[in-house]
Amino acid sequence: ARVEHLTYVCTRSQADAGPNNNWMAPDEAHTKMRALFSGCMRGRTLYVIPYCMGPLDSPYARCGVEITDSAYVVLNMAIMTRIGRPALERIARSGQFVKGLHSTGELDPARRFIMHFPEELSIESFGSGYGGNALLGKKCHALRIASWQARTEGWLAEHMLIVGLQNPRGETHYVAAAFPSACGKTNLAMLVPTLPGWSVETIGDDIAWMKFGADGMLHAINPEFGFFGVAPGTNMKTNPNAMLGINANTVFTNTALTDDLDVWWEGMTDEPPAHCTDWRRDEWTPERETPAAHPNSRFCAPAGQCPVIAPEWEDPDGVPISAILFGGRRAGTVPLVFESRDWRHGVFVGASMGSERTAAAFGKVGELRFDPFAMVPFCGYHMADYFSHWLSMTERTDESKLPRIYGVNWFRRGADGRFLWPGYGENSRVLAWIFGRITDDAGARQTPIGMVPRVDDLVLDGLDIPKADVAAALEVDADEWRDQLPLLEQHFESFGAKLPEALREELIELKTRLDAR
């Protein structure tokens, strides 16, 4: 798993790192890492990986060089990024790149650190072979370092999927969405709509870099070249496009191996294999209490193999974003979907995001934690400054050109513990409503938390669930939201005096609207 307690942002001023990051002074961090790295590759092969994040000809793209002693890293970086001579030539032209140094070391948890130096555009990672800690182009560069660059340069580096949503008339709008790890992000990125005539095409499943285009809209690229998805639970029902996209040229990590040398993981098939080798290389049968595949086992596949990859996924100018979704895994309170009142309120929605912990994060599974913008583990600077940066977007363009912002929650449960909404392909019904809001063709009712569809505002033809369940999924219970306010206040107070006043005002206004109900 990610080791957030051993991941540091090393800025000259501790205040710049913020309460959301572990901080270490750069000189101290360099000294510590120099001692760890000393002689660590003796007897090993040293690999040098020049890589480009984003299409090679895109003005949005950024480059890096990773030095590693892990062939596994080389193999995955070759899938996840554009590596080799073209990247090296771009570095030579631009003169700027992120420097990454990685060694698996002894894989000793007591000698494991992932250090980021945003002011130096450098990363040093020792003692871990886990994707997010070792494939330095991914979270380390594309989010922690890039978010620092984005604030400095006036753009956004986000933990978001990007999709193109096309209606039956052939009109397309592009949507970005932030979800914490293992909350259905990849499934949504490769959605197969159940609504006739609608289609979803994939631009990216994990990271979005957004900059203002000549039209004043935020345009997004996917800086990655592959998909690094969570395997357990992925199957032909939950994500058929992912399954079709991993048939070849794919690296599987910590899955089970069947007797006929195929991969398997929990949820892949209705029936488990009678016998296989588990992720620890032990014999496994269905009678075993432990899972055959690690809960955070992964597949790493070229994005171009995805059957619904959008033709414009490598457009150097990116795609214009019409809507941004913020979601998480919440059993109660948060409705299936709601629309923010305006950009400022939308930033408040993103800043208020909460989700239950997953296997991808270190900690107690199921515990609720606030994860603003799904960026708490990945923001390379003070989260309150990050909120201010988002709020500043209204100063950079006409607010009418900014994306509309929505909250979504596929995971709401009824009093009996059942999921109220079937999710997966049926989420296209929610996307269709959002599309209709963008084009002013869909209705909604006003609530204290924003605009929420009435049951009849959603296209429910062919959906085999009681309307009462849909109504319950869309319910906004003022008492439940009031109960959340002290937690929200405590959450915001954790960011100290730097918290933008606009977010304090949004909290007060929410309380006022709830009390008026």
pLDDT given at position 2: 67
Say whether domain 157-222+313-477 belongs to CATH 3.90.228.20: yes
- The full set of domain ranges for the chain reads 4-153, 157-222+313-477, 227-305
Report the CATH superfamily, name and number, of domain 227-305. Phosphoenolpyruvate Carboxykinase, domain 2 (2.170.8.10)
Across the chain, which has 517 residues, the per-10-residue mean pLDDT values are 86 97 98 98 99 98 99 99 98 96 95 98 97 96 99 98 98 97 85 97 98 98 97 94 98 98 98 98 97 97 98 98 96 96 99 77 68 96 99 98 98 95 97 99 98 98 96 97 94 96 98 95
d(CA 91, CA 99): 11
The 3-state DSSP class for residue 93 equals helix
202, two tokens: 């994939």
pLDDT of residue 374: 96
Q: How far apart are CA 280 and CA 291, in angstroms?
A: 10
Torsion of CA 206, 93, 88, 42, to 10 degrees: -100
pLDDT reported for residue 4: 84
pTM, rounded to two decimals: 0.95
pLDDT at 517: 81
CATH class of 4-153: alpha beta
| Predicted pLDDT at 361 | 61
Output DSSP code: residue 117: E
Distance of CA 412 to the CA centre of its chain: 20
Strands (E), 232-371: 251-253, 256-258, 263-264, 276-277, 283-284, 298-302, 319-327, 337-339, 354-356, 368-370
Would you call 254 exposed, middle or buried from its count of C-beta atoms within 10 A (0-12, 13-18, 19+)?
Answer: middle
User: Which sequence positions are flagged as catalytic?
Assistant: 183
